Structure 1
C-alpha cells in the first residue's frame, strides 16, 4: 500500500547510498590510508557492507579487518588523521549521484516540503560533497554524524533535525537506504521510505521495517501544492 504523503511538511534525506554512490571515494581514501600504515587493502565487498554507521566505525572495522586485531587508540588516531586527509583530497571525485535523485529532490520541494540532509558522515565531508554534486541548494539544513551527541540508528539526530525544521516527527519523512535510517525513524516517530539500491550493510533492504520502498527517489508519489 503506497505511503500517504498528503500530511507531510518536511523530509530528512540520508546521503551515502541514498543520494550519492560514495563507495568509490571510500575505497580510494581507505586504500591510501592503509598504504600509509603498511596494511593490506580492504576488499570492496567488505567496505560496502561496513559503511553507513559513521566514519569512525568504518575506520575501526577496516583496521581490525586488515591487521587481524582491534587497533590501539594510537593507531586509530594516526589512521584517522591520514584518512581525513586522503578523503578530503578526493571527496566526490569517485562518487556519482544516483539516477532520479535530483529529480526526486525537486519533486519534494515542489510539494512544499522543507528538506534537511542527515548523514552519519562527518559534516566536513558531507557539506563539500553536496556542493560538488550540485545538491546543496535543496537543503535548509545539513547535519553530519558529528553534529549531535549520537548517530543514527539512535533517534536523537532525527528529533534534533525535526526541531531545526520546525516540524513534528509524524509529519517529517525519513528517506534512507538502510536499517540505520529505518530504526532511527521508527524510534523518533517519523514515517520512513527506503531506496532499494543503497548499501544496508550487505543485507536485503526489503527485509527492513519501512513504510515503503523506492527504486528511484523520483518515484515517490507527492501532492503538488
Structure 2
C-alpha cells in the first residue's frame, strides 16, 4: 500500500459498499415502494449502479428506470407528486427491513479494530440518511467503533462535495491531511481530493457501474483488514 499511514490520526469510513453490502436492503425497500405505487419491480443488478449518491438520486433513478419500462413517455416527466409518495413509502419500507437483507463485508471488523488499536479517531460518513445509517450500524454491531456518524442529510451538501469531509474532520478535531477517507466509489475519492484528505478505496463496493481501478486514489484495498 503506497500510502504512509504514519501520518494518519483519524479515518472517515463510508458505509454502503465499504462496510456493509446493503444491496439486498435497497432491493427489498425499493420493491416494496414500487408495489405500493402499482409499479413493476426492479432487479438488484439495475439498482447497484444507482447507489452512492443519496436516497433522492436513488429514488429518482429507480422511478425513471421503471417508468421507462411501463411507458417511455412517462420516464421524461418530472412528477414531484409521484416522487413525494415514493419517498414516503420508501422510508416506511426501509426502516422496517433495515439491515435484514444486508451483511458486513469480510475484514471490516478486523480493519476497524486495527484502526482503533492505532489510536485513530473514527467517523462514519455516508450519503445514506442518518435515520437509516444509525440503526444499520447498530444492527450490524459496528456503531461502537465510531465517535461520530453523519448521514447525507447532516450537512448542506453530500459527497462528492468536500464539505461533509471538512465538517467531519472538524468534528473529529483532526486536519484533512491527517484524516484518511475509506470508501468504495469516485464520490468518496473526489470528495477526499477536494478536501485534502488521503483516500483509499475498496475493490468490492458500488462505483456506479464503473471500474474502481480507474478512480484517482492513493491505493486500493481488497479488504479493510489489510490496513
Structure 1 position 46, deviation (Å):
1.5
1:37-76 matched pairs, under 5 angstroms: 37-68=37-68, 69=75, 70-76=77-83
- 2:208 aligned counterpart, secondary structure: helix
Cα distance in 1 for partners of 2:21, 2:80 equals 30
> 2: CA distance between counterparts of 1:213 and 1:2?
10
CA-to-aligned-CA distance 1:65-100 (integer Å, 9 cap, x gap): 111214411110110000000000000000000000
Which runs of structure 1 show a deviation greater than 2 angstroms over 4 or more consecutive aligned residues? none
The equivalent of 1:191 in structure 2 is 198
Given the two structures, how large is their TM-score scaled by the length of structure 2? 0.96
State the shift of 1:43 in Å. Answer: 2.0
Q: What whole-Å deviation, never above 9, does each CA across 1:101-121 have from its counterpart, x for those lacking one?
A: 000000001011000000000
Offset of residue 197 of structure 1: 0.4
Corresponding residue number in structure 2 for 1:104: 111
Residues in 1 aligned to 2:145 and 2:182: alpha-carbon distance in whole angstroms: 14
2:183 matched residue in structure 1: 176
**Any gaps of 5 or more consecutive residues in structure 1?**
221-225
TM-score normalised by length of structure 1: 0.96
Tell me the distance in 1 between the aligned counterparts of 2:89 and 2:205: 27
Q: 2-side partners of 1:216 and 1:71: how far apart?
A: 40
In structure 1, how many angstroms separate the alpha carbons of the residues matched to 2:201 and 2:10?
Answer: 16
Q: Residues 125-164 of structure 1 correspond to what in structure 2 (within 5 A)?
A: 125-164=132-171
Equivalence for 1:31:
31
Structure 2: which 5+ residue stretches go unaligned? 69-74
What is the rounded CA distance, in whole Å, between the counterparts of 1:199 and 1:147 in structure 2? 22
In the alignment, which residue of structure 2 is the partner of 1:223?
none
Residue matched to 2:20: 20
Work out whether 1:213 is the aligned partner of 2:223.
no
Find the aligned partners of 2:34 and 2:17 in 1 and give their Cα distance: 23
1:158/1:184 contact within 8 Å kept: yes
Aligned residue-pair number: 220
